[in-house]
Structure formats: C-alpha cells, structure tokens
Chain A
C-alpha cells in the first residue's frame, strides 16, 4: 500500500467505487472512505477486524455497496445482530409444540420459516396447527380479544428494542387468554462473549443506533472498560456508517478504547428511561444459548416471577420429547450459521450457500430473515463487483 503505484491504484479503485455507489454527498463519502483507508493503513496490521451487531447495518452496507469502498485490510463483520437468526432451535420447538397442542401461536412473520429441531412454525401450520403472523405485540393482544375461547401465545422474539413493546402490552393488562413465550435477547451480554472469542479478534464494535435509542450509549461504558475495545454508536444512512467506521478505526489506531456516539440525533447517554423502566419491570436477564454461538450469560430476557400468570412456559405443559425423538434434518448439520454470526466465517465459506440453502428453502436461520447475513448477501452480494467501473 505504501508504494506510489499502490497508492495510485487504491485511489483509482476508490474513485470508481464512490462514482458507482449513490451517496447523498459524494464528496463527503470520498473523504470518509479515504480516512478509513489511511487510518487502517496506519494501524499497520492485517486484517483489522471490526464488528457490527445489527441486521439493518448489514443491509445498508450491502445495499449501498459500502464494502467496495473499504480497504482490503479492514474486515467489517456482521456479528449476532439478527434476532431471528439467534433464536435457538429449542425455543422454536417450544412454539411448535404449543401450536401442535392446540393453542394459537402468534409471531412476527420472519419467525415462521426458522428451523426448529425437526419443524418450523410454518411446518406446524401446514400440518393444521394455528399459527398467526402479527406485525406487533399489540396485534397479538387484539387476536386474543377476538378469540376469547382460545389460548393465544405470543412467541416474542427480538432484541431489547422489541422486548420493550412486549413489556408494554403486558403492563397494559391484556385479556386473560393472552400469554407470552419469550425468546427475547439482550445484546450487551453477547458482545462480551464475542469480544473474548480468540478466533474473531474483534478490535472495535459499531453499535446499532436504534437499539441504543432505548438503552442509551452509557450502557457500553462498562464493556469498553472491561475489554479495552472501542465502541462507536452509528446510524443507518450510508454516510452515518462510513463516519462511524472512520471514527472506530481512529480509536483502534490510537489505542484509545472509549465509547463515541456518532448518532446523537437518535441516541442519548441515558436512553429512553420510560422504556427501560417497563422493560425491566417485566423481564429479567437469564443465561441461555444463542443459536450457533454459545451459552450467553444474561443473554436471554425472560418474564419475571410477578408475570408467571402471563408466561406460556409456566402456564402450559410444553412437551418437546415428541419433537426430539426424530433426527434433525441432515443438511442442517452442515450449516455454519454459528460461525458466520460469530464473525469466524462468511456466507461464501458455506458449502450450502446459494445451492441447497436459498431464501425460498432456507437450511439455516441466517437465510430466513431479511436481517440474516446469508439472505442479505444472497440478495445484494457481499462485495459488489465493480470491475466494470475500473
């Protein structure tokens, strides 16, 4: 990278990439991309790996082709930022079992195709079980009101941003026949796990703007102190992401682990206290497995004791033995979703990607959700081919 010829080539590459990609402010995009390139070179190690933990960040990076502007020595990895993808098979199995036991199970649309050990919710639906797609927790409550003779279980997935909505509908006193099967996950604890994975060697985190809207950026202070890894909170506009990455590589270069909020138009230090109060009134963090990753201490959000009368796990017997007596699907054993979500592998490293595993017939959870790395790469391509522009 240091020779004049290499610098000129890099310059040509960047000019082509910025010209091809549509930015609101191409001059600013170019300055930011140049900063990222220069600072990454100054770090002098290869690769420099940074991680974001948000499906919407990966969508924006892929959709706007931002990887074409990154220097080759910078590895921007998507971590466990897809709530559907990290919902563990036994959690899906619980939803499937309840549906097969004759209860009405309501869930967000993307959950239906997520594979359980043997069946997905869509499979259970095809076999006659009652599975309903809802857009919000409030719609699941409406469903319970419309079906007073049925038991309606809201299979609640998503990170803290979405868990707040589940908490709010419980606090608003839903009808007696409404319960929650919580598979909600809490992001900060999994960052601790991934930061310690020796294979990943993450040197900085890009934190998701809208989740931090709820929790506030102050929540990352302890993490930065414990791990000596910088965190930058970034928005979702292509320029927001480039600006966030530029600041992040500067913090890596300067060995100044701290938290920087690059998304002040949405995120404050304290976050939304009213939302936090409701979240923690209803949920408590509990350790549990995230699909393909690890046991994450405090990574699951479960209903508190006071909400036992709303907790599907405590209200109804859930019999999983029938599901677990059958062998899991053979192809699923080859799936490397876990390695992809830990940042150890890319979708293109998977033998199933784009062959046996495609959006219509997904093998792994990462191909199911619009926020899964595999589905995003399958639609947009991980690294856009700009050779024609050079």
Chain B
C-alpha cells in the first residue's frame, strides 16, 4: 500500500522515534528518513518506517485527508481500515 500515514514525533532515541498517530503512540524506525527528526516534527510513516519529514507549512493539508477518513468512515470502509491498520501496526494490510 502506498498510502503512508502522518504522525507527530514525541521523542527520539537511537534511530527510533516514538510517534503519536491520533492518540496511538508507536515506535517508528528512522533509518530511511533523509532529514534529522526532532520532537514536535511530523513524519510520514510507511510500514513502521519514517519515509519523510513533513515540512511544517504542509502539515495542515497533509492531515486533512486522514481527519476526514477517521471521522466519517463506517466500519469496514477499506481506505479507512488501511489507515487504521497502519496506525495500529496490526499487519492487517499489504505491502
């Protein structure tokens, strides 16, 4: 799945960041992201890896799609389920 999910960095430690995704916090690997990441930054997470640090001016636009999906989707909605799966890190989705 090529839709990454954005989250806010809480803390950074030894190549990993603790990231908040709408109230769910999870560790995300920083081996791939090409910029230094600090608490307060937003990153784009894909299968447990940060693939991009989101520029501060783009955070609002980036979050909008996910806010819509999470707020307005009935159970079983495929796209929302993929986003929730990525947030929860359940593996209930593909690569």
Contact = CB atoms under 8 A, between A and B. Distances in A.
Interface of A: 22, 24, 54-56, 59-60, 63, 81, 83-84, 108-111, 133-139, 156-159, 161-162, 164-165, 168, 171-172, 208-211, 213-214, 235-237, 265-266, 272-275, 278, 369-371, 375-376, 379-380
27 contacts: A24-B68, A56-B2, A59-B79, A59-B82, A81-B2, A84-B94, A110-B93, A133-B91, A135-B48, A136-B47, A136-B48, A139-B48, A156-B95, A158-B47, A161-B46, A165-B48, A165-B49, A236-B65, A237-B65, A266-B58, A274-B34, A275-B32, A278-B31, A375-B78, A379-B77, A379-B78, A380-B78
Contacts of B7: none
Given A54-B2, A56-B79, A275-B51, A138 B29 contact: yes
Given A138-B29, A158-B94, 18 more contacts: A81-B2, A84-B94, A137-B48, A138-B48, A161-B2, A161-B46, A162-B47, A165-B29, A210-B44, A213-B4, A213-B44, A265-B55, A272-B33, A278-B31, A369-B94, A370-B79, A370-B81, A370-B94
Nearest to A85: B94
Residue of B4, B76, B91 contacting most chain A CB atoms (<10 Å): B91
Contacts of B34: 272-275
Contacts of B95: 83-84, 108, 110-111, 156-159, 162
Nearest to A162: B95
B74 to A, nearest CB: 11
Residue of B49, B91, B94 contacting most chain A CB atoms (<10 Å): B94
A24 B89 CA distance: 28
Contacts of A235: 65
Contacts of A55: 1-2
Interface of B: 1-4, 29, 31-34, 44, 46-49, 51-52, 54-55, 58, 61-62, 64-65, 68, 72, 76-79, 81-82, 85, 89-95
A155 to B, nearest CB: 10
Q: Which 8 A-B pairs have the closest CB atoms?
A: A158-B95, A110-B94, A136-B48, A135-B91, A265-B58, A56-B3, A59-B79, A162-B95
A275 B3 CA distance: 17
B85 to A, nearest CB: 8
A147 B29 CA distance: 22
Given A210-B44, A265-B54, A272-B51, A109 B93 contact: yes
A66 B88 CA distance: 28
A322 B46 CA distance: 37
A274 to B, nearest CB: 4
Given A274-B34, A278-B32, A139 B91 contact: yes
A11 B54 CA distance: 38
B65 to A, nearest CB: 4
B72 to A, nearest CB: 7
Given A161-B2, A236-B3, A275-B34, A83 B94 contact: yes
B30 to A, nearest CB: 10
Residue of B1, B65, B68 contacting most chain A CB atoms (<10 Å): B1
A211 B44 CA distance: 12
A108 B94 contact: yes
Contacts of B93: 108-110, 135, 370
Nearest to A240: B65
B82 A370 contact: yes
Nearest to B86: A135
Given A157-B95, A265-B61, A278-B31, A210 B46 contact: yes
